[in-house]
């Protein structure tokens, strides 16, 4: 083998590990995207709902849409699709205590999400009084800082009876 051929072979051996490393790392770098892109470009996709929201839930007549009453609540939509909810409940004449709500949410595309949750109702003495189960469809606005939702609920009383369908609309504002 001549000297020129040996030099080319030696140069190729030096470059080969770098080429292999580049070939392995390029697909990883391309798929990672810019760090924290969602933080700098506004809420996008499934991440648009993640965080804690101040919400006004308005109970409505399911036939006429007339407002019956409004209830303040907060929901934290956690990464991965779980949620935690708390709300005021009852009135001065008929206090209803309740536990924290637990549930799940999912991204449906185009800033649209669905969530369901369940919370226990408690008597004024802290005993069980059934539970409430809710389902909502919501749309996050283009800013990612507010949403509108509509959905239904049922009260499952401790005595085994179930309430008629309860209709609700919600307006949410991002808290954190």
- Return the CATH fold of 51-174: Lipocalin (2.40.128)
Q: What pLDDT is recorded for position 154?
A: 94
84 Cβ contact partners less than 8 Å away, ≥ 6 residues apart = 75, 76, 78, 100, 101, 102
Measured distance CA(29)–CA(125) in Å, rounded: 58
**Confidence category of residue 2, pLDDT binned at 50, 70, 90:** low
Mean pLDDT of 98-116: 94
Q: For 134-167, how does the pLDDT look when each residue is reduced to its tens digit (9 = 90+)?
A: 999 999 999 999 999 999 999 999 999 999 999 9
Dihedrals phi, psi of 39, to nearest 5 degrees: -70, -30
Q: What pLDDT is recorded for position 89?
A: 66
Longest Cα pair distance anywhere in the chain, in angstroms? 101
**Confidence category of residue 22, pLDDT binned at 50, 70, 90:** very low
């Amino acid at each position: 083998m001549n000297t020129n051929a040996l030099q080319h072979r030696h140069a190729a051996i030096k470059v080969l590990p770098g080429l292999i490393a580049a070939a392995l790392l390029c697909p990883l770098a391309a798929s990672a995207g810019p760090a924290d892109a969602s933080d700098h470009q506004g809420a996008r996709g499934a991440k648009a709902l993640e965080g804690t929201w101040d919400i006004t839930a308005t109970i409505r007549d399911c036939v006429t849409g007339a407002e019956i009453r409004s209830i303040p609540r907060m929901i934290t939509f956690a990464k991965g699709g779980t949620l935690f909810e708390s709300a005021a409940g009852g009135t001065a004449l008929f206090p209803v205590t309740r536990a924290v709500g637990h549930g799940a949410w999912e991204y449906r595309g185009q800033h649209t999400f669905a969530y369901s949750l369940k919370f226990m109702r408690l008597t004024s003495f802290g005993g069980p009084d059934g539970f409430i189960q809710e389902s909502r469809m919501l749309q996050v606005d283009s800013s990612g800082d507010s949403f509108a939702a509509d959905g239904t609920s049922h009260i499952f009383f401790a005595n085994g009876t179930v309430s008629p369908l309860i209709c609700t609309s919600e307006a949410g504002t991002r808290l954190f």
